[in-house]
Amino acid sequence: MKAERTTSSYVLMIGVLSLLIVGSFVAYQVYAAMIKSQITVKQEKAIRSLDGKIGEEVIGELESRRQFGIAELRQKLSFEEMILKEESEVETIMTGEEVLESSQEATATGKVEEANEN
């Protein structure tokens, strides 16, 4: 005759199997997280190592660049200053018109108030 197993042995067996399944699942998730790259494609392009070689194209581009003299640089700076002056003049004209309009409104309302008092 065979001895019957008690319920506690079945509970123990189910507990051990559950522990093995959960443990293997957690181990797989940890392994997958370690292997998976956290870097995007854009970041990967940005952090690639620099190549110390200078190609013929780069040398050709450097030689073909235009070099500016001091006079040309001063002329460019003065052109930028002229643009800034024009922009500031336009702003003062616009603010002057706003002040003029507000003063006209004030005088118009003042005359209306004087007429109402009389």
What's the pLDDT at 29? 95
For position 19, what pLDDT does the model report? 97
Phi, psi of 117 (to 5 degrees): -70, -35
Structure-token pair, residue 81:
């200053």
Tell me the per-residue pLDDT of 12-67, one tens digit each, with 9 for 90 and over.
999 999 999 999 999 999 999 888 878 888 888 888 887 777 788 888 888 888 78
Q: Is the pTM of this model over 0.75?
A: no
